[in-house]
Amino acid sequence: MYDGIDTVAVVGQKDKAGDEDVVAFVQLEEGQEVIPEKVLKSYLKKHLANYKIPKHIYTVEELPKNATGKVLKRVLKEELEKGELLEPDVVLHKKEEKATSASDETVVDIEDKIDEVVGVVKDKQEKQE
């Protein structure tokens, strides 16, 4: 792995043609300065086939994880869908709260699911009007 990188998560993002682009989220080691997207892509071009190179590489302060430490890729996909990730060379979201136990994580997941369902219901209601 590239020096200074702690963890990486890769997800697919739908493009206008209906295909998926590769998008990477990079969590740096503590104290590591942001590594420019161009530098990382240059490194990856030496080690991966072109179609595997991420279209965008976002640096995050901390990847969202569940209580067992597994990266929550659905949360990353949701951030992509919101369209708020515009600057690849800037450290994105700062995780303000961290689940301290499995039950805390479950509460967070349930709240996320409720918000998602409420959004779908509102969309359906608006379409009916």
Q: Which contacts qualify for 12-20: CB closer than 8 Å, 24 or more apart? A: 12/77, 13/55, 13/56, 13/77, 13/80
Residues 70 and 127 in one domain: no
Q: Please tell me the predicted confidence (pLDDT) of residue 87.
A: 55
CB 45 within 8 A of CB 53: yes
In the chain, which stretches have pLDDT less than 70? Answer: 84-129
CA-wise closest residue to 21 among 64, 45, 46, 57: 57
Residues 107 and 71 in one domain: no
Containing domain of residue 111, as a range? 98-129
DSSP state of 29: P
CA-wise closest residue to 35 among 12, 66, 64, 2: 2
Residues 102 and 41 in one domain: no
Residues 112 and 55 in one domain: no
Q: Please tell me the predicted confidence (pLDDT) of residue 5.
A: 92
Q: Please tell me the predicted confidence (pLDDT) of residue 70.
A: 93
Q: Please tell me the predicted confidence (pLDDT) of residue 92.
A: 52
Residues 104 and 121 in one domain: yes
Q: CB neighbours (10 Å) of residue 68?
A: 7
Q: Which helix (H) or strand (E) holds 126?
A: helix 102-128
Residues 57 and 118 in one domain: no
CB 126 within 8 A of CB 94: no
